[in-house]
Chain A
Amino acid sequence: MTAIHPTLLGAEVGAAMADLYASVAPSVVLVNHRRGNGAGIIWTAEGDIITNNHVVPHDRAEVLLRDGRKFVGMVATRNPERDLAVIKIVSDEPFTPATIGDADSLRPGHLVFAIGHPRGKRDAITMGVVVGVGESLGDRPRQSDIIQADVPLAPGNSGGPMVDALGRVVGINAMVAGRMSYAIPARYAEILVSTGIAAVPGDPGFDAVRTELRHPVRQVGYVVMALDPDGPAERAGLLIGDTLVTIDALPVPEDHSIFRRWLGSLQAGEALALGIVRAGAMTAVELTPETLVDHS
């Protein structure tokens, strides 16, 4: 980075934030329903609007664009489990979609911005950082699948974007608890929009820990330590002690936390080809994660 005089740098950073706001705000909409309002994100030029499921209690919703245009949209798809919904609006002219990013690249301390309509204040931006990533100790990995940030949010932010420093949507603002805010990672909205299918989180029914194999080749593997009774893994024939080395023909991630995240992001009904080492020999198992059952 070129050296900039500190005062000028501050001004540059301030200006960059204003630029970021200007680039994202046109893709943020106001979603009206009978009891209040929320925010939404223009996801595609064809008029797919992403919002929270709880923002659209009915099948129709009024969608107001920043440029003043008003639409009555139909709720096309819902994913109540992830609190997401797609509203379809139609126009001859293309809409201005947001740039979509990836929540997996976030680290604690990364800047994030929320744009929405907190307490009815139209298109307001707030700033914060990613508080933490990764699962709580002992929890099921899929609980890691939410972005925690200290961005101030209020009613009216729901369904609006959480963007990174490049203005890319990394999450959909969904909840606030105390001073902690929660956003749903963008990839779930992407799946919902692109497939029209509510992606249902899948449970593979096993747990595994990282190891380093020497045979047949030196590589990272994950040893199966637990199988859910009558779960997908057990029924697929996975055994305690099997060492997972490939997933859909690709080597397993070296990093344990990435593996955990992968375990937590599986989709129900999407078959996986697992390559495992059992008793020193390679074998293949096909496993289809199923809808998570809450055992708690």
Chain B
Amino acid sequence: MESTSLLQSVSDSLANAVERAAKSTVSVNARRRMPASGIVWSDTLIVTANHVVERFEDITVALVHGESVPAKLVGRDPGADIALLAIDAPLGTAFTHASSPGRPGELVLAIGQPAPGRPMTSLGVVSGILPSVRTQTGATVEGILQPSVAMLPGFSGGPLVNAAGELLGLNSSTLVKSGAATIPVDALGPIVEILLQHGRPRRGYLGVGVQAVALPASVASEHQDHGLVVTGVETGSPGEASGLIIGDVLLTLDDRPLQSVDNLLDALTGDTVGRESALAILRGGVPQTVGVTIGERGAQ
């Protein structure tokens, strides 16, 4: 194969990928500045970045100039910088998800459509993948991609696609301090589900301040050598209602070891809300079990 025609094929194939992805990328008009971008998730759902949604009403989305349709804000997760919008009639084509997640070195394209009917793009590679990022709400997002693409004005909320134009994730210019960050499709799905059901990220809430401490040899085991000492109890919190007091050392929540603050945050998933849980603790050096009804963060 002649090398120049090979490069031309690669070039055409990238332009085709942009064309394909543009059919699933909408313009999202929900702020005073220029519109941003959004991803066609399904016939009735658009996923975009939370920080580009500055108002609750008069939100419109558009695929081609002149075909602007109203959209309703279904829910938002400020921590993960995701907002979910609903539309009445299908607009564009729901994205085809990439069969494998982005790999370092893979060619990727960021797509933006701040002006409907005028797709824009920027090329880069996956520079790295963040192992795990904890958002403000305590949830973790695994596998955030760091692409070397240029996040041009209006690109936030739009897709990162592979060289075939398939969806790898949602781009945000604010999620990570330096440069572009992409929430991978695998992490987007569960967040979309929760926003659809609850309208906001749902997280369990205990209402205690804790710090990791080494356990005394008499209690430490092969599996657990640290616990969490309670350093504060919020008034009216589930922790207070369960009788937790400062100085208690938390050992397990429903048999999940609590060795670090991250362990506790990870244990307080959305589905623990309202659950009757068992906290194994040390109080005055004596093992005890305390029953607690997990609350919902942000609901108190």
Contact = CB atoms under 8 A, between A and B. Distances in A.
A146 to B, nearest CB: 14
Interface in A1-30: 1-2, 4, 12-13, 15-17, 19-20, 23
Interface in A114-159: 127-134, 136-137, 148, 150
A17 B3 CA distance: 8
Task: State which size class the interface on B falls in.
Answer: 20 to 34
Given A1-B1, A132-B118, A150-B150, A110 B9 contact: no
B7 A111 contact: yes
Given A109-B16, A109-B17, A131 B122 contact: yes
Contacts of A178: 150, 152
A107 B11 CA distance: 10
9 contacts: A1-B1, A12-B1, A109-B15, A109-B17, A110-B15, A111-B7, A131-B121, A165-B11, A180-B152
Contact of B7 (A1, A20, A128, A137): A20
Given A17-B7, A110-B11, A180 B150 contact: yes
A65 B36 CA distance: 45
A108 B21 CA distance: 11
A167 interface: yes
A129 B122 contact: yes
A166 interface: yes
Nearest to B22: A108
A166 B122 contact: no
Given A16-B4, A129-B123, A132-B118, 9 more contacts: A2-B1, A4-B1, A16-B7, A109-B15, A109-B18, A110-B12, A110-B15, A130-B15, A150-B149
Interface of A: 1-2, 4, 12-13, 15-17, 19-20, 23, 107-111, 127-134, 136-137, 148, 150, 164-167, 178-180
Contacts of A134: 118
Contact of B8 (A128, A129, A165): A165
B47 interface: no
Contact of A1 (B9, B16, B17, B121): B9
Contacts of B65: 137
Contact of A16 (B3, B22, B115, B150): B3
Contacts of A130: 15, 121
A208 B59 CA distance: 31
Contact of A179 (B11, B115, B152): B152
Given A1-B1, A13-B6, A179-B152, A107 B15 contact: yes
Contacts of A164: 8, 11
Nearest to A107: B15
A178 B122 CA distance: 13
A136 B34 CA distance: 12
B39 to A, nearest CB: 17
B19 interface: yes
Interface in B129-177: 149-150, 152
A19 B4 CA distance: 8
B10 A166 contact: no
B75 interface: no
Contacts of A16: 3-4, 6-7, 10
